[in-house]
Chain A
Amino acid sequence: MPEQPAIAATGLRKTYGSGARAVEVLRGVDLTVPPGTVHALLGPNGAGKTTAVRILATLTTADAGTAQVAGHDVRTERTAVRRAISLTGQFAAVDERQTGAENLRMMARLARHSRASARDRAHHLLERFELSHAADRLVATYSGGMRRRLDLAASLVGDPDVIFLDEPTTGLDPRSRRELWSVVRELAVQGTTVFLTTQYLEEADRLADRIGVLHTGRLVAEGTAQSLKSTVADHRLDLVLHDRADYLRLTPHAVHHAPDTLTLGIPTDGTARHVRALLDELDPDGTAVERFSLHTATLDDVFLALTGTPTPRPEPKEAAAHVR
């Protein structure tokens, strides 16, 4: 018998509001995540990532469809699901006016640890997330990265089987981001299932065993980073053009545009024959193309090919709260 998936969802739908103001946020989402793997839900602002996470974490109910997490139905067995999961939401969920240690001890107590073992747990997690030096400082004095690490530590106090991370690295600097990635990988190695959302293509590529691309409430693609990349052309030929006129003339052929550097990316299968033919076709006089380089396709290209919209550029988002 195949192993039971850690997360299984079929036909999830969710609409907010009603009548003319109704917004269909999820329009039939299916998911299967095997235990001990990392699954990334990739999508731009407003794609429905947070909504999907909130449904799976039992915080909101879907209008239609079913979902099991850790073998329990999210609608009818909420308590059992909640015992097995933890959630780190998009916005930091720690108390500013408690110290790091106090926050973690409190969470550990709430996760049914005894007083002594809560203290232990807090101590270890602070060490693991390199926050020991700030353990007794109020969180209000923490940097954004420290706060995010504490937030993640807080969701590990109860040794969850399945952990949900909603945009865990938004707003982090590159170093903090890499640190967080290594924590996520470690969790997966230990057998924890990680379900994360991200707007960063690179993050999904680096971390996830499988990636679902969510666009306006639908999964437009699903698979490994490799298989997603192979759904579009394997390679991209980047051409640096002589002048603006050449750039504008060739723009319709491109999947990648960088006007500042007069660079266009053209899909190709990467064979010498095709590249030569492309260059002849696009630049018969041999005057338009100054230089070229060949790349394997990135998830950027995949995203563009799948959704017809350019890659969402992650904007620094305010850590302001969501008022519901």
Chain B
Amino acid sequence: MSADALTLTGRSIRLSRRNIDALITAIALPVILLLVFVYFFGGAINTGTEYVTYVVPGVLLLCAGFGSANTAMAVTEDLKGGIIDRFRSMDIGGTAILTGHVLASTARNLAATSLVFALAFAIGFRPGASAAGWFAALGILIAYILAISWLAAAVGLIAKSPEAAGGFSFFVSFLPYPSPAFVPTDTMPSWLQGFAEHQPVAPVITSLRGLLLGESIGHTAWVALAWCAGIATVSILIAAALFSRRTD
């Protein structure tokens, strides 16, 4: 990775540290979401395991979705201001600028992830994963975060205003609901089950949960990684094309 991308990652992290929305999304929201799911809904949902153990992967993905809104908005704000022109006149390309936003987004999400894990442990989360399982789970989570962040960067380039960028990202935040993230899919109406079990979030949730619980998950992890790689690749290509169009 280029030195420029690193410098710009530092920039994006500083900007999000001072952005109250981004801070709330990265710190307060994960805590609230976990508590709401475990204590408000958890009692009524029967998943066969401790609900906190069941729901942690879902909360992690939900946080990643909300975090993507901040990423999209940050990209839109850059385009709206004059700073992109200055960067371009310094021969700094779209790749470095967007990589900066994506890596900062990843850092924010990892902060959220650590919080969720710490709090979950405190309230009874007892995963049975081996070291290798933890490693694999983290790898898949990072792959998902990167994919969603690149998607958000592309959305930020499409949107004409930060508000529109935020609106778009709502869709991504919503995606974990119709999936095995919060309730077993067999409790859903049958027309929804097909979607809930095969949409991109489903294999990510299933493999995260399986890896954390130390269960065998077959090839699901590969399906999850393939989805992440696919989403990331398409988003990067779209973002690159949009960047040169939006900045001419």
Residues of A within 8 A of B (CB): 54, 57-61, 78-79, 82-83, 85-95, 97-98, 102, 106-107, 109-111, 138, 154-155, 158, 164, 321-324
A112 nearest in chain B by CB position = B3
Which chain B residues lie closer than 8 Å to A164 at the CB level?
89
Would you call A106 and B83 a contact (CB within 8 A)?
Answer: no
B245 nearest CB neighbor, chain A only: A324
Q: List 9 A-B contacts (CB under 8 A).
A: A58-B88, A58-B89, A59-B88, A90-B82, A106-B7, A106-B8, A106-B11, A111-B90, A324-B247
Would B90 and A79 count as touching, CB distance under 8 A? no
Q: Contact between B85 and A106 (Cβ–Cβ < 8 Å)?
A: no
Chain B residue numbers with a CB within 8 Å of A154 are: 86
CB <8 Å contact, B82 and A158? no
> Please, which residues of chain B bring their CB within 8 A of the CB of A97?
14-15, 18-19
Q: Do A110 and B82 form a contact, CB below 8 Å, given A82-B89, A97-B18? A: no
Knowing A89-B85, A95-B15, the reply to whether A82 touches B91 (Cβ < 8 A) is yes
Query: B interface, by DSSP: helix, strand, loop or mixed?
Result: helix
Instruction: Identify the closest chain B residue to A323 (Cβ).
Output: B80
Per the bound structure, the CA–CA distance linking A97 and B13 in Å amounts to: 11
Question: Inside 8 A of A102's CB, which chain B residues have their CB?
Answer: 14
Q: Do B89 and A94 touch (CB < 8 A)? A: no
Give residues in B with beta carbon < 8 Å to A: 3-4, 7-8, 10-11, 14-15, 18-19, 79-83, 85-92, 160, 246-248
A97 vs B20: C-alpha distance when bound (angstroms): 11
B90 and A82 contacting across the interface, CB-CB below 8 Å? yes
A89 touches B92 (CB 8 A): no
The answer to whether A323 and B92 touch across the interface, beta carbons within 8 angstroms, is: no
Contact yes or no, B10 A321, CB < 8 A: no
> How far apart are the CA atoms of A253 and B26 in the complex, in Å?
70
Q: Tell me if A57 and B7 are in contact (CB < 8 A).
A: no
B241, chain A: closest CB distance, angstroms: 16
Report the Cα distance A58→B86, complex, angstroms: 11
Residues in A with CB closer than 8 Å to B8 are 106, 110
Chain B nearest CB, measured from A301 CB (Å):
34
**A93-B82 CB under 8 A given contacts A82-B89, A82-B91, A110-B92:** yes
Give the docked Cα–Cα distance between A31 and B3 (Å): 36
Residues of B within 8 A of A58 (CB): 88-89
Q: Which residue of B lies closest to A109 (CB)?
A: B7
Asked if A87 meets B89 with Cβ closer than 8 Å, knowing A102-B14, A322-B82, the reply is: yes
Q: Which 5 A-B pairs have the closest CB atoms?
A: A93-B82, A82-B91, A87-B89, A93-B86, A91-B82
